[in-house]
Amino acid sequence: MSNRPLSPHLSIWKWGPHMLVSILHRVTGDGMALAGLAILLWWLGALASGPAAYDSFTGWMWADIGALQWSGIDILWSLLKVLLKIVMIGLSWAFFTHMLSGLRHFVLDIGAGYELDTNRLWSIASPVIAVILTAGFWALLLLR
Amino acid sequence: MGNGTSIGKVRGLGSAHEGPHHWLVQRFTAIGNLVLMLWLLGSFLLLPDLGYGTLASYFAKPVPAVAMILLVLSLFWHARIGLQVLIEDYVHTPGNKFAALALLNLATIGGGAFGIFCVARLALSGGAA
Ligand code: HEM
Ligand code: HEM
């Protein structure tokens, strides 16, 4: 195998929107599988263990930003809590992004959407619609 | 060996059937994820709040409990084959690959079982304890 010739196009290509959707599908899927499922289990485990465990879960993953302490060692914990909040919002973005590129997979699987213009259109539209859905979801959740 | 090219040897034999199965299950579980995740996110939006009491009594009801159990199953199954593809693409050393796949199976089967047990416990203890 090692002395087989390599295709020259391994190093000659330029970015296109379909490549972005492809890599985003992988990154968001793997991100959710590794981080999202761990948090899901913590959430379910906390629910099954009772109110105190559930408070501890929400205290870490969805802290009240206004009540964070910013002195001494607490700065470290507060930074972590802000980071975890970003992770939660990031996971919702990952879900909607993966959902749309997954739906795009379904369309491509039946052999549709390969015309250059159509393919380009939906490659750009999927991640954009995903950002809109993420914003819409949080707007509905926080403003209800 | 030495009877023509690799592709010549396999042409006409049909598929090995492992790939298509994997591919189909990824899609079946994707449909499960799609329907059930939209149900879960919709529930988050429709429930009055996401506090312990509200969620515990919600998952104590038969339909939400079963939906949540099915979601855990679908998610962990989809994630298991998804991460398997990732490992197969990037981990090439046979020993490491075996170890990574073994760890993946332990983590996803163990994680899925834990998730299902938690929902069952909530459901069978009859809501807010
Ligand atoms: C920005 C550029 C690229 C991105 C973001 C990208 C991303 C990906 C991703 C996410 C996969 C996994 C797809 C899947 O399993 O469904 C993949 C597979 C693959 N890529 Fe790329 N890739 C890029 C460029 C290239 C180039 C330049 C080549 C070769 C010349 C290449 C060859 C392959 C091959 C052979 C596979 C495996 C296909 C398969 O298993 O069906 N990729 N790529
Ligand atoms: C809206 C629901 C979802 C849909 C429609 C969907 C669809 C898909 C499809 C069609 C694939 C196969 C891509 C291919 O054959 O190359 C895939 C891969 C994958 N999905 Fe999902 N999915 C969904 C939700 C999720 C969730 C919630 C997770 C995480 C827990 C997840 C994790 C993954 C992973 C890790 C892969 C493998 C990515 C790779 O490396 O190529 N998916 N998804």
pTM value is 0.84
- Give the domain ranges of chain A: 18-143
DSSP letter string, chain A: -TTSPPPGGGT-----HHHHHHHHHHHHHHHIIIIIHHHHHHHHHHHHH-HHHHHHHHHHHT--GGG---STTHHHHHHHHHHHHHHHHHHHHHHHHHHHHHHHHHHHHTT---SHHHHHHHHHHHHHHHHHHHHHHHHHHHH-
The dihedral sign for the CA sequence A89, A94, A97, A99:
negative
Architecture of the domain made up of A18-143: Up-down Bundle (1.20)
Task: Mark yes or no for CB contact A48/B121 under 8 Å.
Answer: yes
Cβ pair B119, B72 in contact under 8 A? yes
d(CA A26, CA A98): 8
Indicate if ligand 2 lies below 6 Å from the C-beta of A29: yes
Rounded to a whole number of angstroms, the distance from the CA of B56 to the nearest CA of chain A is 7
Q: Is the pLDDT of residue A108 over 60?
A: yes
Indicate if ligand 1 lies below 6 Å from the C-beta of A120: no
Ordered by where they begin, the domains of chain B are 21-124 (1.20.1300.10)
d(CA A40, CA A44): 6
Q: Is the pLDDT of residue A69 over 80?
A: yes
B39-77 pLDDT tens trace = 999 999 999 999 999 999 999 999 999 999 999 999 999
Select the more confidently predicted residue: B4 or B75: B75
Cβ pair B112, B76 in contact under 8 A? yes
Mean pLDDT of the residues in chain B: 90
pLDDT at residue number B8: 74
Closest CB to A33: pick one of B37, B82, B118.
B82
Rounded to a whole number of angstroms, the distance from the CA of A54 to the nearest CA of chain B is 6
- Band the pLDDT of A1: cuts 50, 70, 90: low
Pocket test for ligand 1, best of A20, A23, A25, A104 (most atoms within 8 A of CB): A23
Q: Which two tokens stand for residue B119?
A: 């929902």
Q: What is the ipTM of this complex?
A: 0.89
- Band the pLDDT of A2: cuts 50, 70, 90: low
pLDDT at residue number B10: 72
Q: Once rounded to an integer, what is the mean pLDDT over residues A12-17?
A: 85
pLDDT at residue number B1: 46
Task: Mark yes or no for CB contact A51/B41 under 8 Å.
Answer: no
